[in-house]
Structure formats: structure tokens, C-alpha cells
Structure 1
Amino acid sequence: MIDVITLPDKLDSGAAAGLLSTIKAARGAPLTLDASESKSIGAICAQIIVAARSAWATDGHAFVLTRWASIADDLRLLGLHDQFDEANISS
């Protein structure tokens, strides 16, 4: 079963601890992060997501960020846009 976590609208430093805790709790199984409600993402939360993607790959589990069009510009500014699959930007 794939866990789906809907990300909050504001992924700033105030959201980082909760995001990290939620993602850590899902470790060991495939994970989809749904960014459809997210309006912005800061460097700390972006790094948490990139690190989680790496950890899931090491564990051999699927990790997908979906519906991330609304935070694509922020990820581009952070130099992380290419870390995520364009095919999932709006689906």
C-alpha cells in the first residue's frame, strides 16, 4: 500500500519539524507526497523532501512528489526543480 501525505499550503521553516516527523513515520513503504495544496516551499522543507527521496531510493521504495506545479518556481529558485519528475507536476 502506498501512503499519501498531503502537504500543507506553506512549507516554511515553521512546517519543517512536522514535515520531517510525518515523513519519518512513513519510512519503510512507498510514499507519495501530494503538493496540490502547497503555495510555497522554503529551503529547509525542500531539503527534507530531497533527503527523503534519497532515503526511499536507498531502501528500494517508491517516492513520488505529485501535483507540485504551485511550488515549481520555488524549487527552481532553490536549484531543486530537476530533482522531481515533470510527469508528476500536475497529476
Structure 2
Amino acid sequence: MPTMTDIADSFALDPVLDLKAATPLAQGLLARRGAELRIDGALVERLGGQCLQVLLSARSTWEADGHAFVMERMSDQMVAALELFGVGPAAFQFQKDIAA
């Protein structure tokens, strides 16, 4: 049976996720809509509110579509920014059983 790692698209977040990055982030995520998605936040140095909204909206969209959306890695800076916003890392996790 295939696993999430075997079939999911991977998407690396840019180091700076500020107001300027919100539109390209949304476009990059929308281009991957309709497939399982693994997000890599290991390089994130700054996370602004607009990009946080984009990521949370994407996670909700993937759940509504019935596709997995998983944040695999988060930098310490990203985790700290999420804590300032009052959002836990678990807010980005949605997995479903993947059929063979």
C-alpha cells in the first residue's frame, strides 16, 4: 500500500513569508491543488500574518477536497512565529487513509 511519502507532492516554503510573499505562496499552493501535499518549512526565517492566512486556508481547502496536507518540518523561527500568532503546529496537519 502506498504511503503519504510515496505519493505526495512536496512544497518547500521560502525563508521570508511576508506580505510580498503571500500572492506567490497562494499561487504555488493552488498549482498543487487536487493532490496530497507535504509542506517543508525548514527554511522559514520570518512568517507574517498574510502568509499564515494563506497556509491555514490551504490546509482547510485540502481537507475539504479530501487530500492530505502535512507540514513535515518547521524551523525554530517558524514555530516561534506560530506561537506568537497563537497557532499550534498541529493546525497544519490533515491526513486521511491513502487507498492502494
Q: Same fold (TM over 0.5)?
A: yes
- RMSD, aligned CA: 1.2
1:80 positional shift: 1.5
> How does the TM-score come out when normalised to structure 2?
0.79
Find the aligned partners of 1:80 and 1:42 in 2 and give their Cα distance: 13
The partner residue of 2:56 within 50, 57, 60 is 50
Over 6 Å off, 4+ runs: none
The partner residue of 2:24 within 18, 28, 32 is 18
The aligned residue for residue 28 of structure 1 is: 34
Alignment length (residue pairs) = 85
Percentage identity across paired residues of the two chains = 36
| Unmatched 5+ stretches in structure 2 | 1-6, 94-100
The partner residue of 1:4 within 2, 7, 10 is 10
The aligned residue for residue 76 of structure 1 is: 83
- Which is greater in Rg? 2
> How does the TM-score come out when normalised to structure 1?
0.87
